[in-house]
A and B are shown apart, each in its own frame.
Chain A
C-alpha cells in the first residue's frame, strides 16, 4: 500500500503532463489544476504512512531488489520535502491562473500551455528526486528537473530571457556531466549505485574521493552556491513571477537535496572535517556576498534573486555543523534538521516574495525600487505578504527559519565551532536589511496616487499571503516525527529572549540597509548633522560594496565561472584526500 503511493506520486504529475500536452491549450490549465489536489493528497498520505510505519517506505520497481533493480525510498526528509513541494505548487497554480489563463473566445497561445506542462514536469521531477533510491535515478531526475526548469525562464520569449535560459542550461549541463562522471567512477569502484548498498560498501579510496568531489561540485553548480551562481540572477529575475517562484522556491532545492543525500546517506564518513568546513565557508561567503549585492540592486526581482543566493548559502551551513569529530563522520541530527527546516521555510517564503513582487510588477508596470512609493495603498495585502515572508526568513519565532536557526546554533555550540554561530547570527540582520530596504521604498509618503496598470485579483494576493503565513508558522509543526532531532532541542518556540533577539537583528539590519542600500528616498525631518554623518559613512561603505559588485560581475563571466567550478572541485578532492 505505502509503496504504491510512491509510484503514484511520480506517475500522477506525469500523467497530468501527458494529458495536458495531448489535450492542448484550453484544457491544460484545467488538467493541471485538477492534478494538484490529487498530488497534495498523496504527499499528505505518504507523510501519514511514514509516521505510522515509523520507518522509510520502500518500493522495488518490478520487484527486482537492488543491486540488480532500482528502489524508490521515502524517508522523513523526503516526505517533508514532498509535502512542502505539493503545497507550494498548489499555491503557485492558484497564483498563476490569471497569468496563464486561456479565456473563452481568446486564441490559444503557446506560453500558457508551456507553463502548465512545465509546472507539472517540475513537480514530477522533484518527486523523483525526493524518492530516488539510486544515484543514477537521481541523475535522470536531476536532468528532468533542469529540462523542465530552463524553459520556465524564457516563457515570454524575449532575447534577454532566452539568453538567461541558455546560460542556465549550459552551466547546469556542465554540472550534470560532472555528476554523471562521478556515478561512473562509483559504479566502477563498488559495482552498485543503490544508496543503501553503497553506504555499507564505500571506503575512502582515491577514485571514490574524485567521484564525490565531482558529484558535489556538479550539484553545487545546479544549486547555484556562491561562486557558481553565474546563471541564477538573470534566470530567477527574468522569468515570469510564477516561474520565478517555482525556480527559486523549488528547483534549487532538488539538487540541494541530492547533495544532502550524497553526503549524509551515501558517505557520511568520507568527506571529513576539512571538506565540510569548505562547503560551509562557501555558504558563509554566499550569505555575505548575496546580501550585499542584493542591497545594491535597482530592481525588486533582482534583489529577491540575490537574496535567494544568500539563503542558499544558509542551507549549506549544516554540513560543517553536522560533523561529529568523535565519530569522524556527518551525523544525521539536529544540524541536518535545521538545514532541512531552512530549506522548507525558504521554499514557502521565497515563493511568497516572488509572487508579491510579480503583483507589484503587474500593478506598476515595472519593479524599479525607486518607483515603489505608494504601492502600499494599491496592493496592501501583497506588501504584507512580502513583509511576512521577510519576517519569516529573518527568523522571528515561531517561523521555520527561527527553529532552523536555533537548531544550527545548538549544533555550533555542541561541536564547539563558534565561527559558524557568528555566521548564523549575522544572517538575520543581513536578511532584514534588504527586506527593510524594500519596505522603506514602498512606504515613502507620496502625494500622487498610483493608478494600477491592471486590476490585481484578491485571490492572487491571498495565495502569496498564505504561503508567507505558512512559512511564519512552520516552527509550530511537530517535526520530530519526520526529521532526526532530539526532543529537548525543539523546546517551546516562543520565548521573550527570542523575540528580543529578533528585534535586535531587525534593528541592526536597518543600520546595514542605511549604510549599504541604494538610497533614493527623500529624508525629511532628519537633523542635518545626522544626515552628513550618515553620508560620510555611506561613502566609505560604497567603495567596498562597489568592489563586491565588480567581483560579482567578474564571477558571472563564463570562463571565470567554469574555472571557479574546477577550483572548488579540486579543493573538495584535496580536502577529502587529506582527511583520509
Chain B
C-alpha cells in the first residue's frame, strides 16, 4: 500500500518537474525542474526496492545503491549547470537561454 502511495508521489513530482522543464524559460528554474524530475525518479527507485523485498528482507539493497549513485550524478550535474549559469551571468550580464543575437538559422531575407 505505502509503496503505491510513494510511487504515485514519485509520478506527481516527476510530472511537476517535466512541466517546469517545458514551461519555465529561466535556466535556473529549469535546473530546479530537472532536480524535481530527478527526485520523482529517485522516489520511484525506492518503490522498486520495496517491491523486491519478498524474500524476508526489509528491502532490496541494489536499487538503494543505484539511487545513491543517481543522486551523486544529479548533484554533480546541478553543480556543473549552476557553475555554467553563474559564468554566463558574469560574462553576459543576463542569464537567458534564448540566442536572439546568435541566430544560426541563417538569414531568410537574402534572395538568391
Contacts and interface: CB of A to CB of B under 8 A. Distances in A.
Interface of A: 136, 139-140, 143, 147, 150-151, 154, 157-160, 162-167, 169-170, 173-174, 176-177, 180-181, 183-185, 187-188, 191, 233-234, 237, 293, 296-299, 302, 518-519, 535, 538-539, 542, 546, 549-550, 552-553, 556, 558-559, 562-563, 566
Contact of B73 (A143, A170, A184, A563): A143
Q: How large is the interface on B (under 10, 10 to 19, 20 to 34, 35 or more residues)?
A: 35 or more
B59 interface: no
Contacts of B2: none
B81 A170 contact: yes
A95 to B, nearest CB: 24
A538 to B, nearest CB: 4
Interface in B41-96: 41, 44-45, 47-48, 51-52, 60, 62-63, 66, 69-70, 73, 76-77, 80-81, 84-85, 87-88, 91-92, 96
Contacts of A188: 47-48, 51-52, 63
Interface string B12-27: 0010001001110101
Instruction: Please provide the 10 A-B residue pairs with the shortest distance between their CB atoms, ordered closest to farther.
Output: A159-B92, A188-B48, A162-B88, A160-B102, A538-B112, A553-B105, A562-B22, A181-B41, A159-B91, A166-B84
B111 A542 contact: yes
Given A188-B48, A234-B104, A558-B25, A158 B91 contact: yes
B5 interface: no
Contacts of B44: 181, 184
Contact of A539 (B23, B80, B112): B112
A562 B21 contact: yes
A298 B84 contact: no
Contact of B38 (A154, A177, A302): A177
B77 A162 contact: no
Nearest to A534: B112
Residue in B41, B66, B91, B106 with the greatest tally of chain A CB atoms within 10 Å:
B106
Nearest to B40: A181
Nearest to A549: B105
B97 interface: yes
A552 B105 contact: yes
Given A163-B97, A184-B48, A173 B91 contact: no
Given A177-B34, A184-B45, A558-B97, A166 B66 contact: no
Given A143-B77, A187-B62, A559-B22, A181 B14 contact: yes
B97 A546 contact: no
26 contacts: A143-B76, A147-B76, A159-B88, A159-B91, A160-B99, A160-B102, A163-B88, A166-B84, A166-B97, A169-B84, A170-B30, A170-B34, A174-B37, A180-B70, A181-B41, A184-B44, A184-B66, A187-B48, A188-B63, A234-B104, A299-B104, A302-B106, A518-B106, A549-B106, A552-B105, A562-B21
B77 A147 contact: yes
Contacts of B104: 233-234, 237, 297, 299, 302
Interface of B: 14, 18, 21-23, 25, 27, 30-31, 34, 37-38, 41, 44-45, 47-48, 51-52, 60, 62-63, 66, 69-70, 73, 76-77, 80-81, 84-85, 87-88, 91-92, 96-97, 99, 101-108, 110-112
B27 A166 contact: yes
B48 A173 contact: no
Contact of B108 (A150, A163, A538, A550): A550
B12 to A, nearest CB: 14
A198 to B, nearest CB: 14
Contact of A166 (B21, B81, B103): B81
Contacts of B63: 184, 187-188
B97 A167 contact: yes
Residue in A140, A143, A173, A542 with the greatest tally of chain B CB atoms within 10 Å:
A173
Nearest to A214: B41
A420 B73 CA distance: 39
Contacts of B69: 136, 140
Contacts of B30: 170
Contacts of B34: 170, 173-174, 177
A162 B84 contact: yes
A552 B103 CA distance: 11
A357 to B, nearest CB: 15
Nearest to A186: B48
A375 B64 CA distance: 59
A173 B84 contact: no
Residue in A169, A539, A549 with the greatest tally of chain B CB atoms within 10 Å:
A169
Given A162-B91, A535-B112, A191 B99 contact: no
Given A136-B66, A184-B63, A163 B102 contact: yes
A553 B77 CA distance: 27
